Structure 1
Amino acid sequence: MDAIKTLDSALPAATIILYLAHQPESALSLSPENDFPVYSTSEATPAPYTAAVVYLASVMPGPRSPDRLLQSIPRLQKNIPWRHQWPILLLHAGVYDTLDSQQDFLTRLRDSSREQDLTPEAIEDLVHRIEFVPTQHELPAGIPVDGVGDTPIWSVEWPAYHHLCSFFSYKIFNHPRIKDLTYYLRLDDDSYVREPACFDPFEYMHVHNKSYAFRDSPPDMGWVTEGMWPFVSNYAQRHSDVESTLEKNGFEWPSNRFWPLGFGEGVNFPSYETNFDLVKVPRFRTPEMQDFFRDLASDPKRFYWYRWGDAPLRFAEVYMFLDVPQETHRMCELPYSHKDRPFDDCECVPL
């Protein structure tokens, strides 16, 4: 019962009981840095870092089909040689608040895992990793519920998609379940590690001292990044260290950067596809990065009217505050697909 008392009181009691019931006694320990469970392969060889896989299972209240998620998670267990069995966090807006809903998901997860030919031992290891994390998303003040008061550029999936973009752009780094981790890997429910990989991505980040890994970097269209070029440019001009970092990283600006009107209008913004988003959390919680997040959050229209996405903003954050050649990695070694599109792979060299 002492372990239960140390867990964050915001989690529903049913979630805590089910969660602990699924943990092997030797696998669960409490981090001295926070009140959440931290996993290790054994007490004799504790991991030198903490990590989690993150899925945003639902953003809005109400039913949501878990079918794609139930295909993604077993492939993750099957095709990655995990050095440590870190938790898989299912962030949700009430879909898994009840014990029955959680048990039903875990039953279906066992079924889908058997379809993927996981061994009984691997299936139980996977079930033990699942953690249901309630997460709320609310419209900012001044944003109407109907989403049409000021003719937003993107009204599709209103406001779920806009919540998602703002959450992964900056809010995730202050989430109580995530902020004290060393690493997280965010995947979409239609993300798949389709074939066996030769290393654990978290272990890769640790061994090579990387802060950000991505899978692809296509640009985001100019019509959904309206105002983003001036926003980043103005911030850099007010912060000489950011300006210097952007220059060192070879960040490319559109022409006429310092003209007062029309700068960047309609120009595509570079981005990282964040359906695969592997992050060293402390590098995104520095005072400098947090100051940028506060500035970003100061005008909610950026997300809710102009549909700014987390993909171009992640690119901006990395180039503004990290050493891109030293800290980033295109993790093409993992055989990865998003939706029905296989990404280009490269040779995987074991650690």
Structure 2
Amino acid sequence: MTLFKTLLTTSAIALIAASAQAKDVIRVAGNFATEHSSSLAMVKFEEELERLSNGEIDVNIFPAQQLGGAAENVQAVKIGAIELMWVGTAYLTRTVPELEVIGLPFQFPNRETAFAVVDGPVGLALDEKMAAEGMTSMGYMELGFRQLTNNVRPIVNIEDTEGLKIRLQPNETHLSTFRALGANPVAMDVKELYSALEQGVIDGQENPFAIINVAGYAEVQKYVSNTGHFFDFISVVSNKKWFDGLDADTQAMVRDAMDTAIAYQRTLAAEQDAAGLGQLVEKGMTYTEVSGELAAALREKTSGVAADTKSRLDPELVTLLDAEIAKLGM
């Protein structure tokens, strides 16, 4: 970000902070497009909380990077410049590395299993890790299975990923996964992605079908495949000091309204994802379905990444994750 843009973003946050009253104005920032399921869910949160509070709480939603990119939103919530954010969980892993435990390659067979893990003991343990960093977890929405796009060639064989310069979120496990596939991964904030693809600075990116669609990447990418290499979450997070300072009734209203919004988003996300691939093909992208043989080769080539990631994390958390996965029959 240029110095001017940094100052502009900082000034915008400072301006709304100066005009906000601590307990009856809640500012919520996100980097997702306004039509994405998560942004629509935040509108649902706004409506529900204002209804529950009889209009005593005013929620202001700032989607589509209006208050900066994902990394900037994380820092703004940590320091209390804004109260709440919704952000791809990968953007929190450099602050809370333990979150990498739910971002391992080919970890979840379906979305139901993924949510069973984060809604259970593993999620509670991760909440404690976030609290230690000054953030309160409000729950997890669906970002979804991540799929690979690029401008060089269709992904048909395991060799086709080699040498591709692919944008990834700033998550060490994700970066290691694509290094294992022979690609050249580049950590980049989403606010820079479209222009980097348009200018040919990078060859491709990976995101769920719905995001590829609503972000307009079909305009700057040729090939798409259903690699499904990660299932990704959206974390809804508040500044802990702010949330702890709310009275018990207000905390309960915020939690109830967010629970409603998250349930709404998960349903809508599944619908948007199901429709997303067809919309990308209609917009001119070439779709190549991953064969059973290629899927097996991708898993085999990245099999060491999960073990390496687990070796860096809290052993108790890893043991808990393994126990939950065994319980779910994965």
Name the TM-score, length of structure 2 as normaliser: 0.28
Between the two structures, name the one with larger relative contact order (CA 8 Å, sep ≥ 6): 2
More strand by share: 2
Rg (Cα) greater in structure:
1
More helix by share: 2
